Structure 1
Amino acid sequence: MSTTDTILADDGSVYRRLQGKAEGTSFHIIYQDEKGTDLQPDIIRLFDEFEQSLSVYIPHSLISRLNRNEPVEVDDFFHYVFTRAKEISKQTDGAFDISAEPLFRAWGFSSEEKNIPDENQIKHLKQFIGMDKVRLEGKLLVKDFPETILNVNAIAKGYSADLLAALLAQSGSPNYLVEIGGEIRVKGVNPGGEIWRIGVDHPSENRRIPGEKLQVILQITDRGIATSGNYRQFYMEDRRKITHTIDPATGYPTEHNLVSVTIIADDAITADAYATACMVGGIEKAVHWIDRNPTLEAVFICREADEYRTYFTSALEGKVEQA
């Protein structure tokens, strides 16, 4: 289900706005339409094809069949996402790991029941987790253990934003914003003729609606942007906060003062994966990984005592505005 309307820009050009539901979340797309072409059918078709490949919520999707160890060949969507996941896992010392799904299920984040696994259960599951235990041989996915399960939700939305950006660029659109569940790809200027302004949510646990209150506003264009945080997906157990940010190395939810990280990269797939990895690693490791990669910039929000403090990399000077 999606809706579309038009926006008259300050310079008289026409932008189209498309919004709806896909990939288990919401999407918003704004693009300058110079040719009078409604791209809604092409966009919805791309979403459908993408989900048939990479959605773990569709029982007959490619990734669901791979998780059931059916002998099927991977498609181009899966091949690219898996390859980038392998690369970014190595770059982040294993903090980004699409094979950690059994841990999320054990802690109750991929199932209805919330529970605390014991040490033996975590030890048992960890033997099936790690990007070194799964690989591609041609078009076949090979696992060292059939119990290994993949979930690409922490990288797929970013990739779909990149695919839609490519679709808009190929259509001749010089200016656009693609946002899918908070993962963003922008180019050019907005209908007001200004660089796109991207809000980063205030990381309060009491505000579950995205955009309800902002911490900072970024002025960014021609980049991919992704935010990850641990302030929305969590539950309480015996007065203990259990967050959905789980460290694949330990098998346990992370405990540090980094509550939100926004990554700016050349594409959204990289920003998406790095945002997740940085939330796993904490701010010291995150800064180290960002410093090693000159194509990345970041905004970190940390909880210090009873307040939230914002830090950002030097290249963002003048592009970060307090909300």
Structure 2
Amino acid sequence: MLLLNRKDIESIFAMTDAIEADKKAFSMFSLDKCKSPIRTNFKSENADGSILYMPGYIKDLGISGLKIVSVFPENHKYNLPSTPGTVLLVDDKNGLVNCILDGTYVTELRTGAASGAAISLLANKGSKIGALIGCGGQAESQLDAMLTGCETLEEIRIYSRNKDKRTAFAKRMQEKYKSVKIIASPNSDEAIDNADVIIMVTTSSVPVINGDKVKKGALVSGVGSYMPNMHEFDEKTLIKADKIYFDSKDAVLSEAGCIITPLKKGKISESDFTGDLGDLINGNIPSRESEDEIIVFKTVGISVQDLVTAKMIFDKAVENNIGYEWK
């Protein structure tokens, strides 16, 4: 059994690889070539957090697996990751666990890559301005994916309700990504003003953007909300949207309050949904059809992303003799 920590994975697997993995995962999901049940979510009764179990199976890759991932927003106070996780890969020919991976980093990669995949497929060519709302544990990989998915971006605005946090994050990201301008915005409206690509990665119970400020032609990716009480999107953005895509419609309508609530209120209807991103990748639904279209992508994450990503990492690790062999 191979053990792979974050440094092992970083040495062999880049965001470009993760975006490729997510596109493959979404395609397989839409072709019904995997089993990816809705996750089991236990709300912690001892802290402000959720413990999630995400199983899956992919016959064509010869693997099953399980990701245990938790969301504990207050973990930063204890110098712990806000989304700790572990991924187990199981060989479907003998039932043995053949790899255990750092699920925190796998989650960061594949979650960022979902936005990256959507951006590469749906953002306007030549987009210049990006906005990132939220500075938590998933933010850095989202920024990485934004820049990987759209290489023409010249400026990224960062907003979080915590001034010190957004300022520190923007400064750290500017040191990492020297080829683009990265700035902290004083409010959400300024962050998204004239932005071509907007990513929201918060667990907010109230909308974090104002749809009136979303420009024509923008792509808006909602990443953070994964429970019925979470509402990153505002209704105006969804009403204005010309197309709405999901990673999995069934998963989103089971979990994401920012879609469930306006649907129940009649502000939007299922006829407004374009379909899953995998259907677009497979050529079964349309992509962007004009530069003025406002496009929304909502992802809550599905286990097939973790399995395909983990399998690609495992294969590369074996090829490069990376990791610790636990016998």
Structures share fold, TM-score greater than 0.5: no
The structure with the largest helix share of the pair is 2
Question: With structure 2 as the length reference, what TM-score do the two structures score?
Answer: 0.25
Larger Rg computed on CA atoms:
1
